[in-house]
Amino acid sequence: MNIKLENTIINVLKTIFDPEIPVDIYELGLIYGIDIDEKNNVKISMTLTSPSCPVAESLPAEVEEKVRGIQEVETASVEITFEPPWEKDMMSEEAQLELGFL
C-alpha cells in the first residue's frame, strides 16, 4: 500500500466535517477503510452517525470529490456501510475530548 498517498488522503478527510458535530469525519471514526490499489484507485469505506443522517447523500459525494482531487489519485469511490453501526467510542481520543466525552 502507498503509505504516503494514504496519509495525504487522511489529511484531506480531516478537512471534511460532519455538519452536526464540530469534528472532522476521520477523527469522528466515520472512515472504516481506505483501500488503494497499484494504480492509485481509491475505495473508501465509511459510515454515517445514523442511517437518517441529513447529509447521507452529500457527505459521501464530498468525500469522493475531495479525494479524487488529489493529484496522485486515479479514481475514487465511497461505499457507505452501517456494519458495524457507528458508536461514540469509535471516535479518536482527540474527538472525544473536543466533544467533552473525556
Q: How many domains, in total, are found in the chain?
A: 1
Structural domain of residue 64, as residue ranges? Answer: 3-91
H or E stretch at 45: strand 41-46
**pTM for this structure?**
0.92
Average pLDDT score, the chain: 93
Residue 51 within a domain = yes
Confidence of residue 1 (pLDDT cuts 50, 70, 90): low
Is 14's pLDDT higher than 70? Answer: yes
CATH code of 59's domain? 3.30.300.130
Residue 49 within a domain = yes
**How confident is the model over 65-78, as a mean pLDDT?**
97
Task: Output the pLDDT for position 33.
Answer: 97
Residue 42 within a domain = yes
Tens-place pLDDT, residues 22-59: 899 999 999 999 999 999 999 999 999 888 888 888 99
Q: What b-and-e string marks burial along 37-54, b requiring 16 or more CB atoms within 10 Å of the CB?
A: eeeeebebebbbbeeebe
